[in-house]
Amino acid sequence: MEITHKRMNRADLLSIRGRLDAMHAPALKQQIESLFAEGRYRIVLDLSELEYIASPGLRVLIEARKKARDWKLTDLEGGDIRLAGLPDRIREVFDLTGFTSLFEIFANTTEAVGSF
Amino acid sequence: MPSASLTVPAQLDSLAVISEFINSATHRAQMSEREAWQVQLAVDEAATNIIQHAYADSDTGVITLQWLIEAGELQITLVDNGRPFDPTQVPAPDIHSPFEDRQAGGLGIYLMHKLMDTVAFEFDDTGNTLVLCKRFAAPNVVSAQRFTLEGRLDARGTTAALAPVNAALAAGARSILIDLQHVTFLSSSGLRALLLVRRSLNERHGALALCGLQAQVEEVFIMTGFAQVFEIFRTAADALAHIESREQA
């Protein structure tokens, strides 16, 4: 797995390539938590190059979103983890596990970053 | 009944090796790409559970995996000696609960059940055994393609004579019968070309059979030792029967 990070005004963009399984999930968790530690709670995960996801990866996503949403600017605005560019196989796992309705999912990173 | 087994350390960096091992099983079963991915994910979840739960307190454990293909079903068994952990007893997460109430755990086992047809667990004093089964759509049984070659299989004639065979290989043929009854001469070029056909078919677990060798051609096979490398039959019927038995194995 490979993660690249791009900082923008509205949000931080993490692009994840390869396999997000039990072996690699801790690295993503660490990367997201280091953004939280800098006070960056608006994160877009670009999953368009993600080849594989297993439950440890899903777990990182849900736990990270819970923490991000705990940070609130106002009642209406705050932190979030939003997703962009789900490949078919990843979407299938999301559908099987009910994750499709748990996240805001965008077609591409432009829309996802723009949503903040 | 094709089968294989693998023993790896119960550590997360074994997941890649396990994935390769399962890949060989789904490939052998000629599963569709989607079925293969479902099996991959289910076994990955099962192995992750063993590593993180059954061996939670140990760094020295091993997992033994076995796959077996029988009657349109791929069966995968995972055995470990960790503490008893029955994934079939873990309650399924409520996948319809709203985000705020959604639990992060239990998804791996839920996925295993969703992706496989059956999931069974048992344990005794020697350890835990988890058996995952997946039925798969029977691959299109393409009966053997038969080619009757003619003339001289030498440096000059081989390429043209074998062109239809190579076209069938490129199109994904798995079982090929080459009838040599009209071939009057075979040189090393011809032998080499036949060896390449054999190698391509072996790589895809297919079968090659030869039949109808004229005496002078058969002698070349015997002299070069290739008579023991190729499956050679007197008649096309014998050769087809052999290919059929291979396909059912």
> Distance between CA B61 and CA B82 in Å, rounded?
7
Domain B3-135, CATH: 3.30.565.10
How high does pLDDT run on average in chain A?
Answer: 95
- ipTM confidence: 0.90
Residues B45-85 pLDDT 10s: 999 999 998 898 887 899 999 999 998 899 999 999 998 87
Do the domains at B3-135 and B145-248 have one common CATH topology?
A: no
Nearest Cα residue in chain A from B96: A98
pLDDT surpasses 80 at B181: yes
Beta-carbon separation of B15 and A59 below 8 A: no
Per-residue pLDDT band at B247 (split at 50, 70, 90): low
pLDDT of residue B142: 53
Window from A1-15, A69-83, B154-168 with minimum mean pLDDT: A69-83
Percent of chain B past pLDDT 70, that is, above it, reads 96
Per-residue pLDDT band at B170 (split at 50, 70, 90): confident
Residues B184-215 pLDDT 10s: 999 999 999 999 999 999 888 888 999 999 99
CB atoms within 10 A of CB B68: 17
CB atoms within 10 A of CB B183: 23
Q: Which residues of B touch A52 (CB under 8 A)?
A: 40-41
Q: Which residues of A touch B13 (CB under 8 A)?
A: 23
Q: Which of B100, B96, B94, B105 is nearest to A101 (CA)?
A: B96
Both structure tokens of A63: 């736990």
Using DSSP's 3-state secondary structure scheme, residue A33 falls into: helix
More confident: B163 or B1: B163
Cβ-proximal residues to A44 (8 Å cutoff; 6+ apart), any chain: A11, A12, A13, A14, A81, A82, A83, A84, A109, A112, A113, A116
pLDDT of residue B249: 56
Radius of gyration, CA atoms only, chain A: 13
How high does pLDDT run on average in chain B?
Answer: 90
Q: Nearest CA to CA, how far is A35 from chain B (Å)?
A: 21
Query: Under CATH, what is the fold of the domain A2-114?
Result: Transcription Regulator spoIIAA (3.30.750)
The residue assigned the tokens 């005496």 is B215
More confident: A8 or B247: A8
pLDDT of residue B119: 94
One of 3.90.580.10, 3.30.750.24, 3.40.50.1970, 3.90.76.10 is the CATH number of B145-248, namely: 3.30.750.24
pLDDT of residue B7: 97
- Residue from the list B44, B93, B104 with its beta carbon closest to the beta carbon of A21: B44
Q: What residues does each domain of chain B span?
A: 3-135, 145-248
